[in-house]
A and B are shown apart, each in its own frame.
Chain A
């Protein structure tokens, strides 16, 4: 589904990611752990294709196609979707308008309305997108947009940060839906999830996890084992471990 080869990414002329390779198969979910400022978000933004995140070396393949220099909307059209950690307020544009944009030509309007109702987002549909939304509302609104978009590769940037206990199971349920976790053999959706705390792993099963440090994939392994190790030794422990 996604293959990243020797990727280096710079932001405003400064290299943040110093050569990362990873590969996510069809139906797989991978998790990125790492301290603040380690470059996790930069990696996601570069995979999505935001111009500010410049690929200086390496390549990104999606479903076998080299998309390294594709514009962001073409990547979305091919089937990549992202939930932002801190989405911008778009003044005057209602959540409903954005959800409509996500639907594209598909006529699933009724499904989205039903989904919005289930996620307690009905009131937010007619508000300016992301304006004055609480932490939980932001996450749920982002996920609703992704459900409307139904991307094959789902990039989630800290879907569990700032979400209270009541909301986190709701958020987890949405992510499972996005990633078709109810299917075993026919699952076609893959995911790459950034989590700082690992809370989301109580709700969403992942196949593989990475520790991201200083713009590099430090190590990889079983998500629960890695999380347990980070919990007991901290990221400092990871750094020492490799040395």
Chain B
């Protein structure tokens, strides 16, 4: 971002954001992987994770964020999530079930096939949403005022 006063030189902003970042990212992971049991899921988790990244980018600058989370990751991740989601559907079709019928993913053991399916699908949503939100921030914040 074009910043006449640089936010990372403000000690309060820097310290508070550094203290907040790990809990935000951890909370995103919790929401992601705990979505079967509590409120939340891939979409919310992705947004929260992206919010953490955006906070970092706001305080420490876009270039610092691009070192932590390169643009290539964003570009790959956006497609990877959808690919993972649709891939689950293709796998279940290859197993002779309907598209996205997670019963196909049943493996011996206590875990229901639906559990695994929902886990993978939510992971796909999470990856895509994280990267999409970060991408929008990258390309908006990367522009200069005309």
Indicate whether A and B interact: no
